[in-house]
Amino acid sequence: MDFPLETVRRKFPALDLTDKGRRRIYLDNPAGTQVPQAVADAVARCLLTTNANLGGYFETTVAAQKVVDDAHAAMADFLGAASAEEIIIGANMTTLTYHMSRTLGRRFKPGDEIIVTRMDHEGNVSPWLQLAEDLDLVVRFLPFDETSWQVEETALSALLTDKTKLVALNYASNLTGSINRVKALTALAKQAGALVYVDAVQFAPHGLIDVQDLGCDFLVCSAYKFFGPHMGILWGRRDVIDALKPYKCRCSSNGLPERFELGTPQIELMAGLTAAVDYFADLGAAAGESGSRRRKIAKAFEVSIAHENPLALRLIEGLSDIEGLTIRGITDPKRVSERVPTVSFTVDGIVPETIVRQLNAENIFLWSGHNYAWEIVHQLGIPAEQGVVRIGIAHYNSAAEIDETLESVHRVVAMLRQQRG
């Protein structure tokens, strides 16, 4: 079945907005996606009809508890978790990772080793570096291969020792877009006895995650990157998290996952989270899947990928004939399934921000900078204060939007070149 682009677009009111008569093109998706009406409605409905704290016996508190339970169940389906008890919901990926890193730190001792990558967003680097500083852990940096744009198994093997306690790695990069072979990397780390913490923030909008198949111990993502509200979700393998003692109030629940969810939850956003997961399920159902919610989500990703990958290739091809432009990521069409549709580039002699500002002025939304992919820009020798131009596709983008953006990039680069003389 073809991707139902027009039906999908109609679900996102923000796509129809204009500014001073100008259409908007959203290509800032790796930094955050727009939401379907159903997500906004679910948040509003929760606030307007079931707004209460948890733990009581009256109508609204019982309803609020159901909102919370539903969100955990929805994310268990989204991630392929064994149970909703493995789903920890919090403010965002970064906060969840800082919290979990401190909890894990209670089991680490001076001299223990941890591995972080040169491909990760800082949200999966800084918490571990600072933990290492506090506890005198040894940090090993795992580089990515600048030809494959991925972390190679051989590179990981070279760093693992019997002292390695944790490997923190990403599923897909927010700058290069490349997808790591997380299952193979995890298997190596597990053989060495290390825990594996996976940042799937950028993969989650573009592919089906199966935490049980990956074999990792933790996996974290952010709902606002996959058409949901601003919040983060951390999956933890039950036997691992059950043995952990998080920092928490003495009198709060010791159950799972409540033990890891501090204070009053973002209940209304959880309502939106369930709606975001159901949005994927509805897309899968429309594509012909009538099985479980998980199966519908899987189908949704199947049709979504079939739409996104050609758009990514169109973008890459259209950029490739600009002289002096270097795409920082996989460009080989045969390897399109090894990347998400986030394409970053630099142009010789032109500061990325100047290109981005011109495009932003044409109401094409995208970002420049290092985008917290601090290690990547350093490994590539790109000035961190400049970074790259990043164009990030979501499945609601159209071929016409990509073509219009390409036309603008060509025109703007030519103009900036001319200005330089």
Interface ranges with ligand PLP (CB under 6 A)? 30-31, 92-94, 121, 123-124, 170, 174, 199, 201-202, 222, 232
Output the six-digit token pair for 254: 């010791």
**Residue whose CB is less far from ligand PLP, 3 or 203:** 203
Distance CA 211, CA 209 (A): 6
51 SS3 class: coil
User: Do the Cβ atoms of 250 and 120 come closer than 8 Å?
Assistant: no
Is the separation of the CB atoms in 403 and 188 below 8 Å?
A: no
218-222, strands of its sheet edge to edge: 87-90, 232-236, 218-222, 195-199, 164-170, 113-117, 138-142
Distance between CA atoms of residues 276 and 146, nearest Å: 35
CB of 222 to ligand PLP, least distance (A): 3
Sequence-separated (6 or more) residues with CB below 8 Å from residue 223: 229, 230, 231, 232, 233, 269, 272, 273, 276
The CB density around residue 334, as the number of other CB atoms within 10 Å, is 7
CB of 44 to ligand PLP, least distance (A): 22
- Integer-rounded Cα Rg, in Å, for the chain is 22
Residue 55: which region, alpha, beta or left (left: phi > 0; alpha: psi -120 to 50)? Answer: left
